Amino acid sequence: MSERQAAAAVPLEPPKPSSRRMWAYRLEIDPSRTGSPWWMTIVSVLLALLLCGIFIAANGMNPIAVYDKMIRGAFGSSFGIAETLVKAIPLLLCGLGVSIAYRISVWNIGAEGQFMVGAIAATAVTIYFPNLPIYATIPLMIVFSLAAGGVWGLLTAIPRTYFQVNELVTSLMLNYVGLLALDYVVFGPWKDPKGFNFPGTPMFNEAQSLPVLGDTRLHMGLLFALAAVAIYALLVKYTKWGYELRLIGANPEAARNAGIPIKRHILLVMLISGALAGLAGMSEVSGVSHRLMYGISPGYGYTAIIVAWLAKLHPVGLAVSAVLFGGLIVGGYSVQTIGLPSSISNMIQGAILFFLIAGGMLSKFRLRRNG
């Protein structure tokens, strides 16, 4: 036996304990886990509330009392519940729009701008065709808002598909353009001459307003939103188009190799995504405010991103999370009476998104004992 073979026969020494040994446990990715458990979502939301509670406490308030007030404001009375549902309508439509885009990894964050142009287009119908009957006005407003939102979505999709421009930047830039366009019409040409300088158009008449339920503010837009969600669920589950969307989302490379026209899909998806947000704008002006006015959206388009993420893009989940975030917005308004800014709800929304992502990733890890 040569020296060399003898050396090889000696078993390798176990590796010396390194400084990493001070950690008895380590995290590693568990390849068998793909989804995250349902309770992770709840844990994420609770942790987000805990973090925001620290900021509330730093402001000299009792976080539990504040949260209690928010929940009572949003869900504690029939008025509160109706208001929550009213806020849930645009969130559901916009959230559905962005989830369709997120399904194929198109990061549309432009729902806010698409909402604005939809609202402007719907109002244009009332300005330029003021005396149409209700069965002509409402469908025309719907078509106009869908078209305007869709075009706004295409303005994001075309640079993405043909010029390789990051859609995040484009869609966000278009939000500001849409917002400025809205400011222009309500401060400029469409301002109500009898409105004491209020930045808004004249009030819509009966024929231009969506029917409401009883004496609440809950309007027919809820039916649009639920119908859109149902159609989306069926299309994604049962059609070739839906199958191709799921394939692109799961593995774009495989989809491309399978000959699926990804560019055409992106264009169509952004058209739909924008159109849905545009419809949300129409239902808001025609169903709630009955006029186009300054600050028509308290950031529905941005909240919709978190609505979609909390729902994991699932249709039923979208409806649930839209109601939850609608409640969060209403709750944010109700704590203004005790001297807290309503932007508290924006803070909670952002924190929820953070913990959702972290929780979703963490549940793919497993804890392993070292050694």
Partner 1 sequence: MELLAQIIAAAISSGTPLLFAALGGILIERSGIIQLGAEGIMLLGAVIACIAFIHTGSLAVTLLAVAGISIALGLVHAFMCVTLRANQTVSGLAMTLFGSGLSAYLGKKVSGTPIPGSVPKLNLNFLDGVPFLGPVFAHLDVLAWFSFVLVVAMHLYIHRTSWGLHLRAIGDNPPTADVMGIRVQTFRYGYVIAGTILIGLAGADMLLVYSPTWTEGMTAGRGWIAVALIIFARWNPVRALFCAYFFGAMDTIGFKIQLIGSEIPSYFLKMIPYAVTILVLMFLGWRSRNKPSGSPQSLGLPYIREQRF
Positions in the binding site for partner 1 (CB under 8 A) = 29, 55, 59, 107, 109, 155, 159, 162-166, 168-170, 172-177, 180-181, 183-184, 187-188, 302, 305-306, 309, 341, 343-351, 353-354, 357-358, 360-362, 365
Q: Which is nearer to partner 1, 52 or 138 (CB)?
A: 52
Shortest reach from residue 367's CB to partner 1, in Å = 14
Shortest reach from residue 238's CB to partner 1, in Å = 29
What is the CA angle 333-335-336, rounded to 5? Answer: 70
How far CA 86 is from CA of 2, 10, 77, 146, 324, in Å, comes to 85, 76, 14, 20, 12
Q: Which is nearer to partner 1, 26 or 72 (CB)?
A: 26
Shortest reach from residue 118's CB to partner 1, in Å = 18
Q: Which is nearer to partner 1, 338 or 357 (CB)?
A: 357
Q: Which is nearer to partner 1, 49 or 353 (CB)?
A: 353
Instruction: State CA 321 to chain mean position distance.
Output: 10
Shortest reach from residue 357's CB to partner 1, in Å = 5
Helix pair angle (300-310, 111-128), 10° resolution: 130
Shortest reach from residue 304's CB to partner 1, in Å = 11
Q: Which is nearer to partner 1, 228 or 248 (CB)?
A: 248
Q: Which is nearer to partner 1, 317 or 360 (CB)?
A: 360
DSSP 224-237: HHHHHHHHHHHHHH
Q: In the chain, how many H helices and how many E strands?
A: 14, 2
Q: Which two tokens stand for residue 161?
A: 């598909």
Alpha carbons 168 and 85: distance in angstroms, whole number: 29
Alpha carbons 51 and 231: distance in angstroms, whole number: 37
The candidate with the shortest Cα–Cα distance to 356, out of 96, 99, 48, is 48
274 and 97 in contact (C-beta within 8 Å)? yes
Shortest reach from residue 4's CB to partner 1, in Å = 27
